[in-house]
Structure 1
Amino acid sequence: MSFLVAATEGPTFHPPAIDEFFPAVLLFHGTPFEFTRINLAQLIATAALVLIFWLGSRRMKLVPGRFQSIVEMGFGFVRGNIAHDLLGRKDGDRYLPILMTMFFMILFMNLTGIVPGINIAGTSIIAVPLLLAIVSYITFIYAGLRKGPKHFVKNSLFPSGIPVFLVWFVAILEFLSTFIIRPVTLTLRLLMNMIVGHLMLVLFFVATDFFLFGLSGWWSALGVFTGAFGLAFTLFEVLVAVLQAYIFAVLTAVYIQLAVAEEH
């Protein structure tokens, strides 16, 4: 009887779920060093990043070739549009290594989400965004303490122009906003964008497979539309990958700028 029911049932559509972010273990199952597809994405992104910048900078020429020019454009973008624009030349050069590392690390790990066979971003589990947010948080505190502890505390907790009876209330709000909520929002902004992007891509392409190969007749035509949406969303995900790397680096630079500012 169950066989007849199964035989008369049509194909079923299985949408993506949060289980996508708990992939099967590839290596070292049952140990603290379990290696999954997401770890593979992170490893590939790191290797690609190191290889590209090593090849682009190992034989620097006064008149750069095409590949060296692309690498220098990447360096110049972070240096000019993030570090120097927000922090000035002196502080920008001081904190450039951390900003450069954040931008390109996030960018390359984000882009693994559209690589066939991997199809998941290295930043789509909380460990990576959280680690980067902690580094950003520590850099912000270091920059402020380096400028001067009293100056840093005053700027962070006691903005100018606040009525006396509201000073401590505002100080509590500023403490929560600056030292508690800030690293949380940095983490969640990057994490949620990568999770949603992955789920949307999987949804479009699973739907395409379902309409084209699971159904017949006019229903198959819908697969053309979902496939087109999937390809368009893939291009959109490239933009999101770049934008999220840029936003994270910019916010880190802004936090550093607030820490070293004379008054705000």
Structure 2
Amino acid sequence: MTQANSIAHAADAPYFSPPSISDFFPPELLFAGTPFAITRITLVQLLATALIVALILLGTRRMRVVPGRLQSVMELGFGFIREQIAYQVLGEKDGKRFLPLLTAMFFTIMALNLTGVIPFLNIPGTSVAGAPLVFALTAYVAFVYAGIRRHGVGHFLKNSLVPSGVPKALIPIIAVVELISVFIARPVSLFLRLLLNMIVGHLMLVLFFSATNFFFFSFNWLTPLAAGTLTLGLAFTLFEVFVALLQAYVFTILTAVYIQLAVAEEH
């Protein structure tokens, strides 16, 4: 093979394009340059939200004693959140008060997470900071509101910052630690847990399927490797479905736990 042919063959060889952080900063599609700019991820978020709202409305529009399939699924989901999260953590009285918030939070996070494994969408709506930040701030406002509503501002702050039984000499130190733990670490941990899990999951899926494409269309001796990366990609897709559901559950139950701690008499 001549040098010219070798260069031409190298130029025609498939190029492996690994996933990068640029996947989460797609170009603006509509209203570019304005605060209302819409990207591919924004469209995914809007579509997922509209779909979950439509499913809930359809499933609860005509409730029957003998439920149909969609109504059965909705009742199963609502019942799970009510019994396993709201009532179990908050008790029946407070659980009823915060059940709409917890239900909306669970279903919305779940829908946005699952877009990462849906063909032609292929990116989680919670893999950019905006959505996890909104959910974390909502949880933050909810537990602060619940505490102030139950105890008043002064008693809520005292209950949150100064646990019972702390020696007076240690109160300033403990108060600072509790301030960071309750009012900073809680929302930040909710935000980062959801965001980073979805980012990593997307990058892993793109890596496996990009490698499959590269190996399959590469030189013949690399083609068998495509079967391995494809198998890993499909297995990780199932794992991502599990993670999407798990993260929705963890976020929602932690929100309920923080509300319960806020309304409790003493920590």
User: Does TM, scored on the shorter chain, surpass 0.5?
Assistant: yes
User: 1:97 corresponds to which residue?
Assistant: 100
* Aligned residue among 116, 119, 124 for 2:119: 116
Matched, 1:152 2:149: no
Which residue type is aligned with residue 181 of structure 1?
A
Matched, 1:181 2:185: yes
What does 1:146-225 correspond to in 2, within 5 Å?
A: 146-149=149-152, 150-217=154-221, 219-225=222-228
User: 1:8 corresponds to which residue?
Assistant: 10
What does 1:36-55 correspond to in 2, within 5 Å?
A: 36-55=39-58
What is the DSSP-based 3-state SS (H/G/I as helix, E as strand, rest coil) of the residue aligned with 1:26?
strand
Which residue type is aligned with residue 133 of structure 2?
L
Q: Structure 1 unaligned segments of length 5 or more: list them.
A: none
What percent of counterpart residues are identical?
57
| Runs of at least 4 residues off by over 4 Å | 1-4
Q: Distance in 1 between matches of 2:112 and 2:83?
A: 23
**So what's the TM-score if we normalise by structure 1?**
0.95
* Aligned residue among 32, 57, 60 for 1:57: 60
Q: CA RMSD in A?
A: 1.6
Out of 172-181 and 149-158, give the one that drifted further. 149-158
Out of 105-114 and 157-166, give the one that drifted further. 157-166
Matched, 1:258 2:266: no
Number of equivalent positions: 263
What is the DSSP-based 3-state SS (H/G/I as helix, E as strand, rest coil) of the residue aligned with 1:14?
coil
Instruction: Please state how far the C-alpha of 1:5 moved relative to its aligned partner.
Output: 3.8
Matched, 1:249 2:252: yes
Matched, 1:230 2:242: no
What is the DSSP-based 3-state SS (H/G/I as helix, E as strand, rest coil) of the residue aligned with 2:29?
strand
Q: Distance in 1 between matches of 2:86 and 2:258?
A: 12
Which residue type is aligned with residue 177 of structure 1?
S
* Aligned residue among 78, 81, 106 for 2:81: 78
Against the structure 1 CA distance between its residues 2 and 93, is the aligned structure 2 distance closer, same or farther, given a 3 Å change threshold? farther
Which residue type is aligned with residue 22 of structure 1?
F
Against the structure 1 CA distance between its residues 165 and 60, is the aligned structure 2 distance closer, same or farther, given a 3 Å change threshold? same
Q: Structure 2 unaligned segments of length 5 or more: list them.
A: none
What is the DSSP-based 3-state SS (H/G/I as helix, E as strand, rest coil) of the residue aligned with 2:220?
coil
Against the structure 1 CA distance between its residues 142 and 243, is the aligned structure 2 distance closer, same or farther, given a 3 Å change threshold? same
Instruction: Please state how far the C-alpha of 1:13 moved relative to its aligned partner.
Output: 1.7
Deviation by residue 1:54-74 (Cα, 9 ceiling, x = unmatched)? 110100001212221111000
* Aligned residue among 128, 131, 148 for 1:128: 131
Which residue type is aligned with residue 57 of structure 1?
T
Which residue type is aligned with residue 192 of structure 2?
L
